[in-house]
Amino acid sequence: MPRLAALEPIARIGRYDVIGRLASGGMAEIFLARESGPGTVGRHVVLKRILPHMTDDERMVEMFVHEAKLCMNLSHPHICPIYEFGDDDGRFFLSMEWVRGVSVRELIDRVGALPVSLVAQVFADVAGALHHAHTCTDQAGKPLAIVHRDVNPENVMIGFDGVTKLLDFGVAAAATERKHKTEAGNLKGKFAYISPEQYQGLALDGRSDVFSLGVSLYEALTGKSLYERASEYETVAAIVLDPDVPSVREARADVPEELDRIVQRALAKERDQRYANADQLQSDLDAFNARAGYRLRPSDITEALERLVPDLVTAEPTLDRRPPTVSSKTPSKAELELDDRPSGSAELKAMALGIEADEDAEELLGQRRRGGRVLTLIAALVIVVSIGVVAWVVTRPRPSPTPDAPSTSAPATP
């Protein structure tokens, strides 16, 4: 990447030379930076740093520290690693791997239904990453039982080196933090990928992520969203109330029956009928790949991306070269809109970033309102269904009583 190597730094954060901004929101800025070491030793990294006006917001700082604590316990080849959690003049930052690649979301948007062999390998790798998160322990050996809660195609990045990475544990929760059931404003994840039990406010475990991964797997194979509807009400109803699990083969006939059965089991509405854990899902996907000859090496995945999105493979990120924000005042709406403008095309942003930028303050409030609305919708759905059941019981026809009828269903003997 000669052009990046030639860029002069625009600022310094900790021991990192910042060469440009990748994205910015109401809570944090995301930068591409070079790590500096003795001599010419170094590497490109992504830095995520809290904005100055957020440093006095204890809740936001706590969320940032929470993300760092969870992620620093994770070490898996298919999870984007955090290298450092640092403090730069009173402002926390995270240093993490820069994943040059394309998200599954971007691939679906550009290509539609993806090759079966690519999908089966990529999602087997992600299932392994989730199982690591679900079973990892802290430094004292205590199980953390982390649930990602935001598994969706945007957070699955396929590197141009052929290595898949699961991203963005920013809304993940460990067992020690799941003391309360889901309540209004506390729903995490994108609506069309949230498990039924999370909508119902139940305590979550790894099976919730298995469901979300199953939804993403269906979408990657068909190029179509499984549960997204015209309204939030319809989306929630499709996930919570509709007992049917659609077949992938109904939307794409060339998907093998074995893979269809795997997807359907991951999508079971009753979590006891799903895979008990992500490791079982990975095991079935690996076995399917072996039998079908789909076990792809990283070089095979790289070649697949070169065929599907050759322009992205050779492109370099577009960087905002303005200096990092230094003012401690709360930005105006106009400034937020300016900071949120794309630093390049959506494709380049996804390729360069490898993680999702934080939502601006207005969007965060919008998510809280939508979370409250969704739980209201669920309550309304339950009431409607209950009324329907009661009405059916009250109005259904009943046979007229026969005074001389025998006490058993057998015909009377003359």
Active site residues: 150
Q: How far is CA 87 from CA 28, 48, 50, 240, 264, in A?
A: 14, 11, 10, 43, 46
Say whether 147 sits in a helix, a strand or coil.
strand
Please calculate the CA angle 191-146-123 and round it to the nearest 5 degrees: 65
**Residue 145 burial (CB count, 10 A):** 18
One-character DSSP codes across 73-125:
T---TTBPPEEEEEEETTEEEEEEE---EEEHHHHHHHHSSPPHHHHHHHHHH
Cα–Cα distance, 313 to 161 (Å, whole number): 10
Contact of 55 with 328, CB cutoff 8 Å: yes
Name which of 15, 8, 19 is nearest 320 in CA terms: 19
Ordered strands of the 91-97 beta sheet: 11-13, 16-24, 28-35, 44-50, 91-97, 82-88
Query: Which residue bears the tokens 């990748």?
Result: 22
Provide the 8-state DSSP code for 268. Answer: -
Q: How far is CA 27 from CA 118, 132, 329, 409, in A?
A: 35, 29, 13, 71
Contact of 221 with 115, CB cutoff 8 Å: no
